[in-house]
Amino acid sequence: MSQDSLGVCYAYAASTMLSAENCRYQKTDCTKIENKDIFSPIALTKYSTIENGEMSYGAGAKIDGGSAANVMQLIAYQTHSAPSEECVSLDKILSKIGGAKDATDIQTAAWEKLEKTYDKYQSLKKECPTCAADFFATAKDEINQNFEIKSSNEDMLKAFGKETYSEFVAKLFFPPECSRAKNSAFFEAKDVKVGFYPETGKKGDYAGTLKQIKKTLGEKRPLALGNICLDEKPSNKNCKNQHQVVVSGYRKVCNSQNKCYDAIKIVNSWGQSWQSANSDGWVDAKQLLDRTYYKDATLTYFEDKAVTQ
């Protein structure tokens, strides 16, 4: 799976975390997990909404950045399920333009065109309803050429009627039947909670972050790593491009002069080509972790609930 050109890295991280915890709980091999049991990352974009300080299942798809922590908490504590990868997947949606294994310029252009099409329709709808109807007749054909969708023309028109682009995307690409139990993946793990490092209001640092990574990996659990600033000149306060990945391994690497550094293995949402080109995901831990500035909840992970006497 790959996030393609959308801002949904957080949803891919959350999907990996949820599936990994299920596999750990069920004592199954996650490399053999079937799509019917995988939480659809693109569907999880509807599970990163906070309204009035409370987590909620949103009507829109949050495709311009979100929080893996929000998704993990909402699934683990409230809904316990979400649409499966078998029912709705980015790979299926993009099957007409190369699939979602790796991002391409064609796909990027298609997403940009889709948003411009939605904005154009909204503008015409206010100024000239007849013009909007004529525009839709052409727009629907172009959308069907670029994307694999199950929506009828009537449903697509209803999607264009949504007030926000995120709601439009959700209506266009997420079939209602994918919310049914038979088309859902379920969070089976019991007696777990979502942990964070550093906790809100507490100061984090490299040593503490690495310590938590080692501890959680020692429990056979991965961790979601967020707040990564990808800007060429990263900044603590004004980062324009943030990213989230999953940490799945740690090792100390030493050269012939016995000079060593910490390395962590990350599972990225940029496709297999990125993993292959970057030592299967092994990166210098400090170089990457320093880009998080050790903000609140840089690490998110599952842990066992404390046993009450």
pLDDT score of 49: 66
**Cβ proximity of 169 and 63 under 8 Å:** yes
Q: What is the pLDDT of residue 99?
A: 72
Q: Are strands 192-197 and 260-267 parallel, antiparallel or unpaired?
A: unpaired
Rounded average pLDDT per 10-residue block, the chain, 309 residues: 70 97 96 96 84 58 87 94 95 84 76 96 94 95 92 92 93 91 95 96 96 98 97 92 96 94 94 85 97 97 80
pTM, to two decimals: 0.89
pLDDT of residue 58: 61
Produce one character per residue of 255-283: b if its CB has 16 or more CB atoms within 10 Å, e if not: eeeeeeebbbbbbbbbbeeebeeeeebbb
**Residue 120 contacts by C-beta under 8 Å, 6 or more apart in sequence?**
135, 139
Eight-state DSSP code of residue 278: T
Note the pLDDT of residue 216.
98
Q: Which two tokens stand for residue 20?
A: 């990994």
Give which of 277, 298, 276 is closest to 289, Cα–Cα. Answer: 298
Domain ranges of the chain: 9-92, 93-177, 192-304
